[in-house]
Amino acid sequence: MKIIALMLTIVSSYCFAEIDLVKIDKSERRMYLLDNDKVVKEYHVAFGGNPKGHKEKEGDEKTPEGIYTLDYKKEDSSFYRAMHISYPNQADLDNAKRKGFSAGGLIMVHGQRNNLGKLSKITQRFNWTNGCIALTNSEMDEFMMLVKVGTKIHIEW
Is 132 catalytic? The answer is yes
Q: Which of 15, 54, 84, 132 is catalytic?
A: 132
Is 110 catalytic? The answer is yes
CA distances from 77 to 26, 49, 73, 82, 134 (A): 23, 21, 9, 6, 13
For 57, residues 6+ apart whose C-beta sits below 8 A from its C-beta are 96, 99, 101, 102, 103, 104
Q: Which of 15, 54, 84, 110 is catalytic?
A: 110
By annotation, the residues acting in catalysis are 110, 132
